[in-house]
Amino acid sequence: MYILEAKNLTFKYDNHNYILDNLSFNIQKNELISIVGGSGCGKSTIIKILAGIEKDFNGIVQLKSTSYMPQSDTLLPWRTILENILLPIEIKKGDKKKESEKAKSLLKRFNLLEYSNNYPKELSGGMKQRISLIRTIMSDSDLLLLDEPFSALDAITREDLQNWLLNTVSILNKSMIFITHDIDEAIFLSHRIFVCQKKPLSKFKEFFVPKNITLEEKLKLRKEILSIIKGDDFYEKN
Ligand SMILES: Nc1ncnc2c1ncn2[C@@H]1O[C@H](COP(=O)(O)OP(=O)(O)O)[C@@H](O)[C@H]1O
Ligand SMILES: [Mg+2]
């Protein structure tokens, strides 16, 4: 069963060159997908189309709903953690009381409840990122769209949050599209990796990540992905 079907997506920003040219891909329920590729290849654009932010594209996107975390998602410094989490609900004029209970139960589940009334500046970078993720997860939609959520974090915090995210998506039974330019992060977090090839993007090069991947397999996979991103085999393949 597909949770997302994208067919023949074609897109350009006005007066610019095409970024997507008939790109198609599908995602199954509970699948964790990463998209990797060089800067400017169109990763954020794809996710914005799926999130319904870029509407001016050709092609078909079939999905129920998504929850989207932008590339530079920031908490508002003048609102408490709980108020920050409830911001999208306020904007949508949802049931604030009910959602506030839900937010608190998520905060509790992830050992962050004691920070509900703190302000962002009182939290570490890793904690703030967890809060942004909880805000994204709050929505009932099954498909999470996360645009480089860990890129600003140090290596240790990052590893910690990767584990946290894997655990969270599995507990909450979500599917995910995760954008990163870190190949190891993509291998760690995903069932399948979509690699951007030349521009305009018409087809991802796709890799399945074996379940209990060995170090040897991991090094081989990383090398293959890197060579595509760097375009080493551009003339061979095209
Ligand atoms: N609002 C915009 N208007 C014009 N060009 C844009 C806009 N947003 C992104 N671009 C361009 O589109 C291309 C793809 O951008 P983006 O999807 O952000 O790439 P990525 O996330 O892979 O780094 C880049 O060349 C970028 O400069
Ligand atoms: Mg981007």
pLDDT band of 90, cuts 50, 70, 90: confident
Residue 149: nearest ligand to its CA? 2
Q: How long, in residues, is the chain? A: 238
- What does the pLDDT read at residue 235? 41
Write out residues with Cβ below 6 Å of ligand 1: 13, 16, 19, 37, 39-45
The top-level CATH class assigned to 2-237 is alpha beta
CB neighbour list of residue 118: distance below 8 Å, 6 or more residues apart: 80, 81
Q: 46 CA distance to ligand 1 centroid (A)?
A: 10
Residue among 9, 11, 15, 16 whose CB has most ligand 1 atoms within 8 A, to mutate = 16
- Angle at the Cα of 137 (from 135 to 139), degrees rounded to 5? 90
pLDDT at 236 over 50: no
Predicted local distance difference test score (pLDDT) of residue 230: 87
Q: Which two tokens stand for residue 87?
A: 């911001």
- Asked if 98 and 67 touch (Cβ cutoff 8 Å), the reply is no
Q: Torsion angle of alpha carbons 91, 96, 100, 103, nearest 10°?
A: -40
Q: Tell me the C-alpha distance between 81 and 117, whole Å.
A: 6
Q: Which atom of ligand 1 is nearest to the CA of 38?
A: 22
Sketch the domain layout of the chain as residue ranges.
Answer: 2-237
Residue 238 confidence class, pLDDT cut points 50, 70, 90: very low
3-state secondary structure string across the chain: CEEEEEEEEEECCCCCCCCEEEEEEEEECCCEEEEECCCCCCHHHHHHHHCCCCCCCEEEEEECCEEEECCCCCCCCCCCHHHHHCHHHHHCCCCHHHHHHHHHHHHHHCCCHHHCCCCHHHCCHHHHHHHHHHHHHCCCCCEEEEECCCCCCCHHHHHHHHHHHHHHHHHCCCEEEEECCCHHHHHHHCCEEEECCCCCECCCEEEECCCCCCHHHHHHHHHHHHHHHHCCCHHHHC
Q: Distances in Å between the alpha carbon of 152 and those of 111, 144, 156, 159? A: 22, 19, 12, 12
Residue 137: which of 111, 101, 173 has the closest Cα?
173
- pLDDT band at 232, cuts 50/70/90? low
Nearest CA to ligand 1 atom 4: 13
Task: Give the closest residue to 130 by CA, choosing from 104, 156, 102, 107.
Answer: 107
Using 50, 70 and 90 to split pLDDT, how confident is the model at 73?
Answer: confident
